[in-house]
Amino acid sequence: MTFEPADPVGPDHRSPRFSRELGYAGLIPFIAGAVCLTAAAFRFVEAKDLPAFAAMALVVYGAVILSFLGGVRWGIAVATARADARVFVWSVAPSLGGWCAALLPPSWGLLVLACGFLLQGGWDLYAGESGTLPQWYVTLRRRLTVIVVASLLVSAASLLILLRF
């Protein structure tokens, strides 16, 4: 028996409100990590262990979310009969990239995650244009990706400032 959803990509209108709310709530750790590291880098706060903790927490959270995005793509491939093996292979790449980022020193891990989110975002944009993903999801992902990547890059830069001085 083959599972074929009635409408694999869903309607191309506004995203469900709850999806948007969860997506934007998921930005909180990224933004909080960037704020903590920037505040420490520019000496707005004096907390000896804060930068190391914030960097570690941000890398781990970023790896988890990047893995989640790969899982989303795996789920879409499972739900559609037209997915080929390459989609399954590439849907595992975000998990591996996130895992590698978690094994690196935090400044490098943050940069690897930023690249991973950019690549995943590009894949999602391409999938939206080809009709594999609903437009509301692509629009939401575009907005979230910009904020996530900016937060990761600001965090990496702040961490480098902390390490240099």
Domain parsing of the chain, residue ranges = 17-164
Residue whose entry in the numeric block shows the structure tokens 């437009």: 135
pLDDT score, position 65: 98
- Residue range 116-129: average pLDDT? 94
Beta carbons of 37 and 159 less than 8 angstroms apart: yes
On the question of pLDDT at 165 being above 80, the answer is no
Tell me, what amino acid is at 79?
A
- pLDDT (tens digit, 9 = 90+) per residue, 46-89? 888 899 999 999 999 999 999 999 999 999 888 887 778 888 99
- Residue range 88-110: average pLDDT? 96
On the question of pLDDT at 8 being above 60, the answer is no
Nearest alpha carbon to residue 97 among 128, 74, 63, 127: 63
11: DSSP letter: -
Q: Please, what is the average pLDDT of the chain?
A: 90
- pLDDT (tens digit, 9 = 90+) per residue, 124-138? 999 899 888 899 999
On the question of pLDDT at 140 being above 80, the answer is yes
CA torsion through residues 141, 143, 144, 150, sign? positive
Listed range (73-77, 96-100, 115-119) with the worst mean pLDDT: 73-77
